[in-house]
Amino acid sequence: MKQLSGPELHAHQTAPGAAALLLLDVREDWEVQLAPVTVSGLRCVHIPMNEIPAHLAELDPAQPVVCICHHGARSAQVVAFLERQGFDAVYNLAGGSDAWSMQVDSSVPRY
């Protein structure tokens, strides 16, 4: 499984000519409302983990995807699922929104 740290994702997004990534937030609605994560230049999509199979057709297997949850466990499960569905460029954001808050953007509330 491929992983990116928060600082690696931030560096990627600030690099000239960076490939377009999709940030797939697999947290529950209340978590996204409590601590929204936005990454400049990334299209963000929120689909709770248990709804991913029903929304699979909405995701493009050719688009690189970075999955995020609270600490990285649920998003790792989604990455494994997407890899089994033929997604090649799918990454887990190591440490999730909590690590993002501590390492990159302290304005994201920790919970």
In what helix (H) or strand (E) does residue 25 lie, and over which residues does it extend?
strand 22-25
How crowded is residue 107: how many other Cβ atoms within 10 Å of its Cβ?
9
22-25 sheet: strands from edge to edge:
2-4, 90-93, 65-68, 22-25, 43-46
Residue type, 67: C
Distance of alpha carbon 35 from alpha carbon 86, whole angstroms: 30
Active site residues: 69
Closest by CA to 71, choosing from 50, 92, 46, 56, is 92
